Amino acid sequence: MRIRLAAMSRQTAKGQTMRIVTMVAVVLGWVGMPVFACGPDSDCVLGDRHYRIAMPEGHDGATAVPAIVFSHGYRGSAQGVMRNGSLRRMVSDLGAALIAVKSKDDDWVIPNAPRHMDTDGAIEFAYFDAVLEDAAAHFNIDESRIMATGFSAGGMMVWNLACARSDRFAAFAPISGTFWLKPPEECSGPVANVIHIHGDNDKTVPLKGRRIQQTKQGEVQDALDMYIAYGRFGPASPTTHDTLRCQERRNDNADILDFCLFEGGHSFRTEYVRFAWERFKDAGRL
């Protein structure tokens, strides 16, 4: 009898708990909505692709927040990006969401990349479109305030996005990466705001490029020259910002094209992302 009463008591408690959960779900509008369980520690699945997202600490869920989309380097991952505690804290402090994307292959499938010489990059561009649409649908992201950034091969991806998807992002900050082989003859869409950051003694992705397999890393100056012409940017103004030596250009629309060097090689610092974000924000672009 005692065992039976104990079982009945547990069932009663369980039923009360389920009723409470159901009431909360109704109040919050969860009923009839699919559970979207993903975030910084689990994948947001998009077919055979995925991304991860970390909302700013203390986000109330109701306020739309800007976002930083970060592209990893060669053989990197969205999981690896999220393991960068310094980056996550910095982006959260900015009041932004961090969206970590994952390449289709070990490397981004972009024009003239090794093993991808015949691609036009469409497969990755479609993926980024899907990520932005999915994140906006499931998280409260301000789609007018999204910056794309990435390091090394991720910086190469960012340059391609700046040329092909300038309508989807407010600003671009490629770090230590440029186009493979050579830049396209011209870009599509509106002129973007770009801050390129690079080490002045980078041996992995040298400023003048280097041969890799059947292709070559492009020269950074070639990318800048193409974009100067595309955006009709004016003469450069030399400036210094802490450890960065920059050549800053503007056009008649006050669009931004900055080229900033730091002393050193192929290295990444969270502060480079913060620097770009704050420059764009101060200029009213984010």
Across 122-143, average pLDDT: 96
CA distance 172 to 151: 12
Confidence (pLDDT) at 89:
97
Element (H, E) at 50: strand 49-54
Residue range 65-110, pLDDT digits in tens:
999 999 999 999 999 999 999 999 999 999 999 999 999 988 999 9
Q: How many residues does the chain have?
A: 286
* pLDDT of 3 strictly over 50: no
Confidence (pLDDT) at 36:
54
Confidence (pLDDT) at 34:
40
The two beta strands, 237-241 and 215-216, are: unpaired
* pLDDT of 33 strictly over 80: no
Contact 261, 198 (CB under 8 A): yes
Lowest mean pLDDT among 21-30, 70-79, 113-122: 21-30
Highest mean pLDDT among 21-25, 60-64, 151-155: 151-155
Across 4-25, average pLDDT: 38
Across 46-56, average pLDDT: 97
Lowest mean pLDDT among 185-189, 194-198, 227-231: 185-189
Residue range 221-235, pLDDT digits in tens:
999 999 999 999 999
* pLDDT of 28 strictly over 60: no
Across 9-15, average pLDDT: 40
CA distance 68 to 77: 16
Indicate the average pLDDT of the chain: 89
* pLDDT of 23 strictly over 70: no
* pLDDT of 190 strictly over 90: yes
CA distance 256 to 272: 16
Single out the residue of 202, 206, 209, 203 nearest to residue 183, CA to CA.
209
Confidence (pLDDT) at 267:
96
Give alpha helix (H) positions in the chain: 2-28, 78-82, 85-93, 122-138, 153-164, 220-231, 270-282
Across 262-279, average pLDDT: 98
